[in-house]
Amino acid sequence: MKTIRKIKNLKNKKVLVRVDFNVPVRDDGIVDEKEDWRIRAALPMIEYLLEKEAKIILISHLGRPDANRKFILDTTVDSRLHRNDNIAKYSLKPVADRLEGLLNREIKFIDDCIGDGAKRAVEEMRAGEIVLLENLRFYKEEKENNEEFAKELAGLADIYVNNAFSVSHRKHASVHAITKFLPSYAGLLLEKEVEILSKAINNPKKPATIIVGGAKMKTKVPVIEYLIDKFDHILVGGIVANVILKAKGIDTGKSLIDGIDIKEVRKIDLASNKLYVPVDAAVCNSQKKEVDLRAVGKIGDNKILDIGPETGKLYSKIIRDSKTVIWNGPMGMFEKEDFAFGTREIAEAVVKSKGYTIIGGGDTIAALDQFGCIGNVDYVCTGGGAMLEFLAGKKLPGLEALE
């Protein structure tokens, strides 16, 4: 995979950088500094290009807006629609403001990502200037991997850089098709994330442990299936644990079960001594509406919403003794204090581990942030879905395109 470091002279080059600035924006139109970690993760790449005196054009998506802008190949026609609530809610303008504060320099925000406005802004750029273009997903062609749309984006620049590992599992125009029209390179963040995750799964220091929780069982089965032979311990919690328990024939009461075919789950070696399931759980008592602790298999007419203390002790010891720890997905409904114990217990074990620790996934990061632990892990991966696909040994379209 070619990286941007290969190019010695970037002075005055127009460099189009795909970043991931998909961060929460408050109702008052401000990106909170507690929520800007994805923006901060992109700073080394931006600073590198500033040092090289490049012209920096940043592109990103934000959220899942209605794709209601019209893509018009005749670029003499303005492609923009009148502003509406959709655009106001999903505009990258607040991100531009936050980035300006972090870099302490002007960021020119353009309210479109193609068309005459974007072209004029880029043509007027000087070396060392930064432009942030508007949300790519205002155009349906972005998610459709439309080549004409990608060609329009590519027409703005001399070089393309993918610095967004977190969207590299998507076959989108700004990640995949665009590489057909420009010399394309991996950015510093993408390079770093691939290097760290590759080392962790292909050559982990032993004992190696992966913690898999949360929901979306369909994305977690391939990870467990792929890593069960490579890792020493696989600890499960959340809805993932509920589904595995059910697949093993253990009663889970009225607990939430992902809509996955149990036959798919049975692709995992459920009898493996490397696979650990909860032995007890915190449940919501359906009669008293209170929290009860129950042994797994004796859940009754209740819902499992967290792992129990015995499971917490078992998992914590394994984590503390591990030399490699990867975590994706909380152990329960940590947003509610009554069911935050398990996730907090695991978070504390992870930060106390003497091994190399990697976390990923929005909910996992939110949990560690909630517990004040996020600064004590070795690496926070910017991607949730991309991380899972990489951990499952799958080829990521954005990475393949760079090769």
Active-site residue (options: 216, 230, 254, 320): 216
- In the structure, what pLDDT confidence band is assigned to residue 311 with cuts at 50, 70 and 90? very high
What value does the mean pLDDT take over residues 56-71?
88
Active-site residue (options: 14, 38, 98, 303): 38
Active-site residue (options: 101, 253, 297, 362): 362
- Looking at residue 259, what is its pLDDT? 80
What is the token pair recorded at 200?
Answer: 């962790």
Nearest to 253 by CA among 196, 313, 301: 301
- Looking at residue 130, what is its pLDDT? 98
d(C-alpha 391, C-alpha 205), whole Å = 16
What value does the mean pLDDT take over residues 298-326?
95
What value does the mean pLDDT take over residues 109-124?
95
**Does pLDDT of 225 surpass 50?**
yes
Could you read off the pLDDT of 9-28 as tens digits, one per residue? 999 999 999 999 999 999 88
Arithmetic mean of pLDDT over the chain:
92
Active-site residue (options: 237, 308, 361, 385): 385
What is the token pair recorded at 19?
Answer: 């970043």
- In the structure, what pLDDT confidence band is assigned to residue 194 with cuts at 50, 70 and 90? very high
**Does pLDDT of 85 surpass 80?**
no
Could you read off the pLDDT of 43-63 as tens digits, one per residue? 999 999 999 999 999 999 999
385 is catalytic: yes
What value does the mean pLDDT take over residues 314-337?
96
Could you read off the pLDDT of 231-288 as tens digits, one per residue? 999 999 999 999 999 999 998 988 888 888 888 898 899 999 999 999 999 998 766 6
| Torsional sign, CA 90, 96, 101, 103 | positive
Q: Which domains does the chain have, with CATH numbers?
A: 4-191 (3.40.50.1260), 204-391 (3.40.50.1260)
- Looking at residue 257, what is its pLDDT? 86
d(C-alpha 147, C-alpha 73), whole Å = 12
More confident residue, 262 or 199: 199
69 is catalytic: no
Query: Which residue type sits at 242?
Result: N
Could you read off the pLDDT of 93-106 as tens digits, one per residue? 999 999 999 999 99
- In the structure, what pLDDT confidence band is assigned to residue 80 with cuts at 50, 70 and 90? very low
- DSSP state string for 70-115: PP-S-TTS--PPPP-HHHHHH-SHHHHHHHHHHHTS--EEES-SSS
**Does pLDDT of 36 surpass 80?**
yes
- Looking at residue 77, what is its pLDDT? 43
38 is catalytic: yes
Residue pair 184/160 in contact by the 8 Å Cβ criterion: yes
- Looking at residue 89, what is its pLDDT? 87
Q: pTM for this structure?
A: 0.91
151 is catalytic: no
